[in-house]
Structure 1
Amino acid sequence: MVQGEATPQISRVQDKGWAWVVLGATMVVHGLTLGFPSCIGVFFKDLQRDFHASNSETSWFPSIMTAVLHAGGPLCSILVERFGCRMTVMLGGLLSGVGMVASSFSQSIIQLYLTAGFITGLGTCFSFQAGVTVLGYYFVRQRALANALASTGVSIGFTLWPLLSQYLLDEMGWRNTFFMLGGVMLHCCVCGAVMRPVRTKQPDPSLKSSHGHLAEDTHLSNGNTLSHEVHRSKCDTCIQTLQKYLAFDVFCKNKGYRIYTIGIAWMVMGFVLPMIYLVPYAVLNGVEERKASLLISIIGFINIFMRPMAGLLSGLKIFTGRRIYIVSVAAAFNGLSNLIIAISAEYSAFVIYCVVYSISMSVLGALIFQVLMDVVEMDRFSSALGLFTIVESITILIGPPLAGLLVDLTGHFSYVFYTSSFFMVTAAMFMGFSFCTMETKKKLTESHKPTPEDPSRGRYTEVPTELEPEKNGSPAVVYVTSI
């Protein structure tokens, strides 16, 4: 392809035509992947009974799945660069389906950790994050709208997965249900197939790889020089790869990013607990199984409407520079809502809890990564997101098993929701007070400098989330994920 031909090809598909087909496929992928863990609580008691496992042992299965879903981001980015979004989404769908089908034959809870936990979690990660990435190629002017519409797929998944899972569980048992769900997950391959790659500007073929020059030059040198140069090249490549996908340097230098990463990592230890333990807790308190699974669907249904609304309202000028405080208030609100069913286990209390929980969850889902864009420069956002999701996945992994261990020791499910409240409220206080203190110190420092060289230096300010297209017409890709 002659250099310069890509520009009209790109402009033909951006924000119109086939781009909306890709958006529809991405919505389905969101529902199949990020919405899938919402149905795990439906199988909790059956798995616990058949494998003779404790609450802590059983909760490792959804913990591993959700942790891998978040932690696989850097590996997914490498696959996208090497094979493209289309192949990565299809590979993810294949892994998800194979993992769930294999889990239907599991003879121990350990095997379930590997199949439904690790393999399915990795597959959902590949499909989800590559599906979001492809929107960056197909949408430029309407990218915010596209991401908002795609995220509604998660809410639809939250609504439908528990109902479907409960129906199949009642009809054919958990093993046959897992087998059927594996077939459903294979639909990610169909969605990936419609994500046709957008042709971008090709590099100049006259430019040779620096590694090629290195190999050619060092071939003429002596053996010691060759070994030294190759070793140094490998070290440099390793450091560059870490900086590209894991922003350790940003974590050390950017105080706002450091506070936010630690606060969210602490918060999610409590945030994921209700989605796993709500159904078994309701069943334990005499709620019929179908009515218990309907509680998760209520949360998802409200999310369908509340999440886009929260995203639109947060974009108002009055909230500019204050989104971190909205997230902190929503986290505290979410944590305190757990006290509703910790105190009362009536079904009406469960319904009220789901409504309150869903509203705060919608705000967190809409803003958690938007705030990350506010505190990190966009040219380092993808690498900052990689480190952010890996740290987040560690606490997601250990949170539910620790809560399960608490239930095994005390015999009271209500302690799970007290624990969730503790993590959510303390994380909200940490983030809110830390950012407030940081801004106050910066203002005091600047007030003592009558003529500062750069008044905005070091302050928590909004970073533009819209990137201008490059001069050659290629859109800049923004990596965005959502809860």
Structure 2
Amino acid sequence: MAQGGAAGRGAAKAQDQGWAWMVLLAAVVLQGLTLGFPCCIGVFFKDLQHEFQASNSETSWFPSIMVAVLHGGGPLCSILVKRFGCRFAVMLGGLLSGLGMVSSSFCQSISQLYLTAGLITGLGSCFSFQAGVTVLGYYFVQWRTLANAVASTGVSLGFTLWPLLSQYLLDEMGWRNTFLIFGGILLNGCVCGAIMRPIQLAPRSPPQSPKPGEEPGSRAEDAQLSNGASPAQSVLQQHPRRTACLKVLQKYLAFDILCQNKGYRIYTIGVTWMMMGFALPHVYLVPYAIHNGVEEHRAALLISVIGFINIFIRPLTGLLSGHSVFTGRRIYLFSLAVLLYGLSNFICVISAEFTGLIIYCVILSIAMSGVGALTFQVLMDVVEMERFSSALGLFTILESITLLIGPPLTGLLVDITSDFHYVFYNSSFFLISAALFMGLSFCALEKKNKLREASKVPLDNPSRSQYNETPTEPLAGSQSLLAVEYITSI
């Protein structure tokens, strides 16, 4: 196994100091290059439609595939990190992202863009982003919360700069040369990965042999997997390959948690449904503004306004949610942010003037900051940290499915009706219904648990049916748990 893959298994010599801050700077740049990049695709929407004579639905598949692969490739990235280390995964991701965009500049059909910019660039961005944030867990312990908050500002910087750069290059060079330049810019992910050198282990590193209950995938967990009903146990013992397959599924795709943990099930369903409308404004806002007479430069500025406000609001939201007042109530704060996101879409329906769209972008950015800062923090609250990595794998795959199909289905509706207002109607429907579903469901679940406690009815496993706070700090002497806290923002 590569040295980088073993970096988090012992006590590090230089955590929270020295080179760690260079790694943090690289993580900021990396998040701007990966998560911030898809926001600029709307700038090229009309040009791609004209070039390939494609409909709104056909054109929207390209950014949808990119974003879906970026989110859904988490389990594959985790395997890559464990096998080869974070540095290798980040540099491989930078290489794939760059090659994907360079190849896109030579595409002769919209379907070829699905493969190059959608699949290849999306997969590369996934590797770079998730491995880049994983390495922060190795380099930072005491200042990990601060490091994650600072790293997430890279997304906001990307939202601010990518649309402006895209519009300028598009006007000067056309979309093909712009994609070629983007390929060179995204190759800088390899430079960021080179900075993330494997951390040096201290001589007093704990032994490698796992202890019972110490980490996901340990021997204790493997034993629990085999301790089911006696017929299943005998089958597993007779089929070692099937046993290994089930262990991998349990480690990276937590279907057992989905069935047993009501809080996780409600939250996963709610966020998956929410993602049907979450990305619609980012894909269609610029085409909508241009369609209503807004100049192209000013239309691209709208996305930059969203990113600029995110730079300040997102860290503040993260710090606010960490206050003791919101302990056990972050899900309600998250639902409120999703509700505000959905309601803000009606501003675009009321007015398509530039001033009205600016107001919309301000409110949307505030709501989006809350959603981005709390999405994975709430997931940590409803799932025990020992199983967070596997719960996250299933969570991201399910949400990537709706991220993939949401924009194309809405684009098809726009093609049929020739009315862009349906973009914002659809987005509001999915977001508002998801917010109400999550908020009311958790409220009902909390009341049900209080009634059980009042009647003194014991629960076999409270974590399966109760929304509660679980500790996110690693246990004493268990540095390996650092590896599971690797996603902090959307």
- Structure-2 change in CA distance of 1:450 and 1:275 (3 Å): closer
1:29 equivalent to 2:30? Answer yes
Rounded Cα–Cα distance in structure 1 between residues aligned with 2:137 and 2:264 = 24
- What does residue 372 of structure 2 align with? 365
1:114 equivalent to 2:115? Answer yes
Deviations 1:38-77 (CA, angstroms, capped at 9, x unpaired): 0000000000010000000000000000000001000000
- Structure-2 change in CA distance of 1:374 and 1:230 (3 Å): closer
Alignment of 1:206-221 (within 5 A): none
Deviation at 1:459, TM superposition (A): 2.7
1:305 equivalent to 2:299? Answer no
Deviations 1:427-464 (CA, angstroms, capped at 9, x unpaired): 00000011011111111122122888998884311111
Rounded Cα–Cα distance in structure 1 between residues aligned with 2:193 and 2:113 = 27
- What does residue 323 of structure 1 align with? 330
Deviation at 1:480, TM superposition (A): 1.9
Deviations 1:355-397 (CA, angstroms, capped at 9, x unpaired): 0000000011100100000000000001000000000000000
Amino acid in structure 2 at the alignment position of 1:189:
C
**Contact 1:15/1:140 (8 A) holds in 2:** yes
Alignment of 1:192-341 (within 5 A): 192-200=193-201, 201=205, 232-341=239-348
Rounded Cα–Cα distance in structure 2 between residues aligned with 1:239 and 1:7 = 25
Deviation at 1:22, TM superposition (A): 0.3
Deviation at 1:262, TM superposition (A): 0.4
- What does residue 443 of structure 2 align with? 436
**Contact 1:446/1:455 (8 A) holds in 2:** no
- Structure-2 change in CA distance of 1:458 and 1:56 (3 Å): closer
TM-score, normalized by length of structure 2? Answer: 0.89
Rounded Cα–Cα distance in structure 2 between residues aligned with 1:7 and 1:159 = 34
Deviation at 1:32, TM superposition (A): 0.1
- Structure-2 change in CA distance of 1:169 and 1:138 (3 Å): same
- What does residue 411 of structure 2 align with? 404
- Structure-2 change in CA distance of 1:179 and 1:10 (3 Å): same
Amino acid in structure 2 at the alignment position of 1:172:
M
SS in 1 for 2:482: coil
Amino acid in structure 2 at the alignment position of 1:58:
T
Rounded Cα–Cα distance in structure 2 between residues aligned with 1:366 and 1:330 = 10
Bigger Rg, structure 1 or 2: 1
Deviations 1:334-367 (CA, angstroms, capped at 9, x unpaired): 1010000111111100000000000000011100
**Contact 1:129/1:481 (8 A) holds in 2:** no
- What does residue 3 of structure 1 align with? none
- Structure-2 change in CA distance of 1:469 and 1:169 (3 Å): farther
Deviation at 1:199, TM superposition (A): 3.8
SS in 2 for 1:180: helix
- What does residue 468 of structure 2 align with? 461
Amino acid in structure 1 at the alignment position of 2:288:
Y
- Structure-2 change in CA distance of 1:187 and 1:432 (3 Å): same
**Contact 1:272/1:396 (8 A) holds in 2:** yes
1:387 equivalent to 2:388? Answer no
Q: Which moved more, 1:452-461 or 1:151-160?
A: 452-461
Amino acid in structure 2 at the alignment position of 1:107:
Q
Deviation at 1:7, TM superposition (A): 11
- Structure-2 change in CA distance of 1:234 and 1:287 (3 Å): same
- Structure-2 change in CA distance of 1:348 and 1:252 (3 Å): same
- Structure-2 change in CA distance of 1:130 and 1:231 (3 Å): farther
TM-score, normalized by length of structure 1? Answer: 0.91
**Contact 1:30/1:128 (8 A) holds in 2:** yes
Q: Which moved more, 1:231-240 or 1:104-113?
A: 231-240
Structure 2: stretches of 5+ with no match in the other structure: 1-6, 210-234
Deviation at 1:474, TM superposition (A): 6.0
Equivalent pairs, count = 455
- Structure-2 change in CA distance of 1:270 and 1:452 (3 Å): closer
Rounded Cα–Cα distance in structure 2 between residues aligned with 1:135 and 1:86 = 12
Rounded Cα–Cα distance in structure 1 between residues aligned with 2:106 and 2:37 = 20
- Structure-2 change in CA distance of 1:231 and 1:282 (3 Å): farther
Amino acid in structure 2 at the alignment position of 1:476:
L
- What does residue 56 of structure 2 align with? 55
- 1:343 corresponds, among 333, 342, 350, to 350
Rounded Cα–Cα distance in structure 2 between residues aligned with 1:9 and 1:21 = 21
SS in 1 for 2:378: helix
- Structure-2 change in CA distance of 1:364 and 1:129 (3 Å): same
- Structure-2 change in CA distance of 1:377 and 1:126 (3 Å): same
Rounded Cα–Cα distance in structure 1 between residues aligned with 2:426 and 2:333 = 22
- Structure-2 change in CA distance of 1:480 and 1:98 (3 Å): same
- Structure-2 change in CA distance of 1:456 and 1:411 (3 Å): closer
- 1:376 corresponds, among 376, 380, 383, to 383
SS in 2 for 1:12: coil
Rounded Cα–Cα distance in structure 1 between residues aligned with 2:52 and 2:89 = 34
- Structure-2 change in CA distance of 1:50 and 1:26 (3 Å): same
- What does residue 104 of structure 1 align with? 105
Rounded Cα–Cα distance in structure 2 between residues aligned with 1:393 and 1:444 = 36
**Contact 1:103/1:111 (8 A) holds in 2:** yes
Amino acid in structure 2 at the alignment position of 1:267:
M
- What does residue 71 of structure 2 align with? 70
